[in-house]
Amino acid sequence: MVCMIQARWLGRALVVLHLCLPSRAVVAAAGGPAATGVQDPGAALMRRQFAESMPDPVLINQRGERLRFFTDLVKGRAVVINFFYADCDRSCPLANGTIRSLRSEFTESFGRSVRFLSITLKAGTDTPEVIARYAKQHAVESAHPDVPDWHFLTGNPDEIRALRWHLGMREKDPAVDGDPAQHAAMLVVGNHATGRWAKLNPLVRPSLVREKAQRIIGWTAAQRYADIRAQVAASAGRRAEPDPAPPVLPPEEPEEAPLPILGRLETPLSGVERGGTPVSTSPLRGKVTVYGRIYTLCPHGSQAVLAAMKRLKDAFGETGEFHLVALSPESTRDTPAFFQSFATLAGAVAEDPWWFVISGKEAVDRFTRSGLGLDPPRPIPAEERLHPDEEEEYDLRLVLVDQQGCIRGRYEVFHPDPFLSQDAAWQIGADTAKLLSQPLPDPNRP
């Protein structure tokens, strides 16, 4: 679900957050409001409602591809949208110039996680052939793998008008609204994942447009505010935080689609449970299992992971078909006894279908990497350590494994954006329910 670049980048983002926030704020960011855990559907709706009712017409791009506007182009992405027509000689050339420069500036930082969509206002005359010629004139195709897509789109004029109105590009005066020559030059910039949308004026200072667009397009707080943080730091005479490498998020799968199979858990892990009992994960075949790595030196991360596991236990623990496994390599600190108290604090009792397994470091690393498909530990440079023993940074995603041992999802329940971490916590619950063919428990009813 999350590619390597992002995982590496996020690791850094967490370090940055650790360094610059009081620890309490990090807990709040990881646990979300009141640590209620599961993303409240109402709160999600408050932020995401704009895209909830977005029209989904079929549009045709310059390559002749038929694409659904929301499903294929917007969902899971950040987008920069404008309206144009091929023989427009007023604001279109200016807007195209702004888009071209944004596209080149975002290539490195956002890659293909952002899309540029130019939709025609004269669908009647801007046929797919005209659109193709127009795109060719603007030389929008690129062989570079990270250049964001720029689609020129045409389609049914009525559907495009409805879409334009939904996007807020509607003039109250019908005479103005119906006249393409008087169309607004605005860019509609949005991010489906965070639900943030705004209209930006392409005719103001380009760096202002870029900075504002970045705040909307950015997937993480650090990315959104890199420029402002640097400014504040500069004005305070402090060193700017390093600008981390960018993440690239692939699009989300459509909701209706079955859960993807991301891999298979071939080799089981053997280790020791809390009380010292030897256990193996092989008898868990036949159950839906969630694995998570516990990293007791990172209290915020572990807290978020354990809280997410606790919610899953509360929701599905009594089905008899569900199991949780918290993993950690053995060390002088992480002993079975220490894990016992850790588990108690997390709200796990011995009868729960929830193991806290300790095994050798090599075995745990191999199991999490080749088995669960998590990222390998990343060494933390000495100067970034918050704790002298904290030598490596771990991928703390929860992994959902189905009855057949297939990996069906990895979930970022510890993420600097509380919205995204809550969303991940909600998503793993929904996906688990799907695998168990159970209705998702109502998060509002304890």
Query: Which residue ranges make up the site for other proteins (CB under 8 A)?
Result: 17, 20-22, 24-25, 28-29, 32-34, 40-43, 45-46, 49-50, 53, 91, 166-169, 171-172, 183-186, 188, 194, 196-201, 203-205, 208, 212, 215, 221, 224-225, 228-229, 231-232, 235-236, 417-419, 444
By C-alpha distance, which of 189, 193, 128 is closest to 155?
A: 128
CB of 173 to other proteins, least distance (A): 8
| 314 contacts: CB under 8 Å, gap ≥ 6 | none
Tokens of 356: 């806290």
- DSSP assignment of 238-251 equals PPPPP-PPPP-PPP
- Closer to other proteins by CB, 46 or 261: give it: 46
Q: Closest distance between other proteins and the C-beta of residue 445, in Å?
A: 12
Residue 389 has a CB neighbour count (10 Å cut-off) of 9
CB of 26 to other proteins, least distance (A): 8
From the number of C-beta atoms within 10 Å of its C-beta (0-12, 13-18, 19+), residue 28 rates as middle
Least distance to other proteins from the beta carbon of 416, Å? 8
Q: CB of 274 within 8 A of CB of 356?
A: yes
* Residue closest to 91 by CA, chosen among 182, 190, 177: 182
Nearest CB to other proteins, comparing residues 4 and 208: 208
- Nearest residue (CB) to other proteins, 115 versus 164: 164
- The radius of gyration of the chain from alpha carbons, rounded to an integer in Å, stands at 24
Distance of CA 396 to the CA centre of its chain: 15
Nearer to other proteins, 30 or 140 (CB): 30
| Cβ atoms 441, 432 nearer than 8 A | no
Q: Considering beta carbons, is residue 208 or 350 the nearer one to other proteins? A: 208
Nearest to other proteins of 377, 418 (CB atom): 418
Rounded to a whole number of angstroms, the minimum distance from the CB of residue 204 to other proteins is 5
42: CB partners within 8 A, 6+ apart: none
Closest distance to other proteins from the beta carbon of 125 (Å): 22
